[in-house]
Amino acid sequence: MAKLCSPYFLFFLLVLGLPYYGSSQLKMNYYSENCPNAEDIIKEEVTKLYHKHGNTAVSWIRNLFHDCMVQSCDASILLDNDLITGIESEKSSARNFGMRNFKYINTIKEALEDQCPSTVSCADIIALSARDGVQLLGGPIIAMKTGRKDSQTSYANVVDDLLPNHNDTMEVVLARFQSAGVDVESTVALLGAHSVGRVHCMNIVNRLYPTTDPTLDPNYSEYLKRRCPSPNPDPESVEYARNDLDTPMLLDNTYYKHLLEGKGLLVVDQELTSDSDTLAYVEKMADDNSYFHDQFARAMILLSENNPLTGDQGEVRVDCTRLNSG
């Protein structure tokens, strides 16, 4: 659905007596009256999970990206396949390959349901856990609004049309982010999330075999070949390379410094240096970690407010993996 918000569109809705929902319906401390401890509960659960499984913090950030880029920030990505309701899960898309730790979202949800039944949406859990995950990884404090509702459908059929691929040209990547309300500067900042975590060899070997991508630093390419020795890695095996060898679990501007050295892990990473518009921001972020953090926070807010369901739209799922009706 196109996100129309011009004065003419709003006037049209008013004439028909129809409501308009969007990012303007979100607000700070949305749960202050009906679940005042909601954000504290989420932060506590996120922190506990981080100390048990450090990579969950990376998963929280990825969840926001993979959910909000597809139609809306509405937790549609959390829905499992369901024959009764006809839901086809977005998780089955190749674009969501490698996504993990979904089960821990329900761990957070259960803690919230215990205190405030049927009140806090799974969509807001995605947003707030991403916010808290960023901070645990040494990133900026983000002022995240809440008030999202959960989708009652899946968008598995359009995931490939909306999520950028790691092999896409920068023109395609920028266009897809723009459709989600994210400008060029914020797109460069969001890709800085690749400063943390790791990538499966399935998404890397195209740069190594049968010939090595000439834009790769030779020493870095040798490291990648050691990590990914086969051109046909098993998708079920644990074959990964770290995004950032220097500060692998710190959300910082080392990512951009590596790009300027020819050490971008994915094609989309290195592509940031091939476009004059994005290169200027790469250089600026490589030079100033505070600037990167400021722009990353702004980008996360823009993405998290992409076309949310609010008001009477959607529902508040009791179980994040299935519809209440299911």
Binding residues: 67, 70, 74, 76, 88, 164, 194, 244, 247, 252
Burial class (CB in 10 A: 0-12, 13-18, 19+), 207: buried
Q: What are phi and psi of 27, to 5 degrees?
A: -155, 165
36-39: long-range pairs with CB below 8 Å, 24+? 37/115, 37/116, 38/112, 38/115, 38/116, 38/119, 38/120, 38/124, 38/146, 39/128, 39/146
Q: What are phi and psi of 309, to 5 degrees?
A: -80, 130
Q: Which helix (H) or strand (E) holds 200?
A: strand 198-200
Q: Is 258 a catalytic residue?
A: no
> Is residue 314 within 8 Å of residue 122, measured between CB atoms?
no
Q: Which residues does the annotation place in the binding site for Ca(2+)? A: 67, 70, 74, 76, 88, 244, 247, 252
Measure the CA–CA gap between 241 and 258, rounded to whole angstroms. Answer: 15
Q: Which of 190, 168, 251, 262 is nearest to 224 (CA)?
A: 262
Q: Which helix (H) or strand (E) holds 241?
A: strand 240-242
**Among residues 53, 66, 166, 293, which one is catalytic?**
66
Q: Which helix (H) or strand (E) holds 121?
A: none
Q: Which residues does the annotation place in the binding site for substrate? A: 164
> Is residue 146 within 8 Å of residue 27, measured between CB atoms?
yes
DSSP 208-221: TSSS--TTS-HHHH
User: Which residue is associated with the tokens 């807010």?
Assistant: 301
**If you compute the radius of gyration of the chain from its CA atoms, what whole number of angstroms results?**
20
Q: Which residues does the annotation place in the binding site for heme b? A: 194
Measure the CA–CA gap between 73 and 187, rounded to whole angstroms. Answer: 17
Q: What are phi and psi of 230, to 5 degrees?
A: -115, 140
Residues designated as active site: 66
